[in-house]
Amino acid sequence: MRTVKTLLAGDHFVRNELLAGALSSLDDVSFDFREVTLPWPLTPYGRVAEVDEASDAEDQLIEALSGVEIAITQMGPFTERVLAAAPDLRLLVVCRGGPVNVNVPAAINRGIVVASTPGRNAVAAAEHAVALMMGALRNLPRLQRTLEQGEWRSDLYAYDECGLELDGSTVGLVGYGAIGQRVARVMLAFGAHVLVADPFIDIAPEGIELVELDDLLRRSDVVSLHARLTDQTRGMIGADQIALMPRGAVLVNTARGGLLDYDATVDALESGQLGAAAFDVFPAEPVPAGARLLTAPNVVMTPHLAGATRQTAHRAGSIAAEAVAAYLAGKDPVGLVSA
């Protein structure tokens, strides 16, 4: 039986014991585990050298990688410096949708196979998007605050104050990947009419209408963003796009803060062009003290936690183990990343 020296660089969400348990289920291989526990999420991630969204732990990784063939991490900073100190590394699995914390060209140039774990948080993120959408439609934070302040605001039953239903509404989804598809199914179950704008989709399932982005914005009572952040999508929703939306519409972003102009969004909330908004992601994280968004009306916010479920952590370990099994069998893993 082959023994593979493997580094588990987990954290306080995707724990090393979860990764070890998933790998230990593989047949015909044993693992010599070396472990590093990174501080995320107790300590926020940030930019480390040339990579993004990583724990500042280059020295820890360098010390642990000697002789290691396989490494699995979520937030480890696999920079040029770290990779240069890992001549035996052949497979790097990142327990995320994409390896933003890896210098992918440097890894590939060194003959290292890089894989991610696509879909690990799709269920959690889709459910969270729906929860935020409903919270914004019914203005749940405002209602809770009235009770916390000792008020019983039956006047909020007034026509001009009460919220909207999903049933019969038009919901526009910008992006139709794993998360957008799950949100669409839930919206259909609620009785909403679903529009999708995604240049990579040619045919949509029955009940879903494919449209151009401007058409989606003009027709949607609720717009929810599920696109990846690229050079092409950065800032794709700004003042001009928000102005196309029906007055009083709801805007939801659980994808990436860079997709949206938040100053324009606050302007629209203050003017009433947007009736409400809900966000799990922001242009700067943490949100700076004094940011206009913190005092904008009719906003539901969570601190980038859409993917935070225990099932997501276990799923990340399972998908990582599948990638390792494929690599050991001489096959391309799911989530294979190219330069």
DSSP code at position 33: E
The active-site residue out of 35, 80, 270, 285 is: 285
Any catalytic annotation for residue 304?
Answer: yes
Strands 222-225 and 208-210: unpaired
Classified as helix, coil or strand, 91 is: strand
From CA 322, how far away is CA 325, in angstroms rounded? 5
Q: How many CB atoms lie within 10 A of CB 305?
A: 13
The active-site residue out of 256, 310, 315, 322 is: 256
Any catalytic annotation for residue 193?
Answer: no
Range 72-91 burial, b when 16+ CB lie within 10 A, else e: bbbbbbbbbbbbebbeebeb
Cβ 274 vs Cβ 251: under 8 Å? yes
Cβ 87 vs Cβ 65: under 8 Å? no
DSSP H or E segment with residue 24: helix 16-24
Any catalytic annotation for residue 285?
Answer: yes
The active-site residue out of 120, 304, 315, 322 is: 304
Residues annotated as catalytic are 256, 285, 304
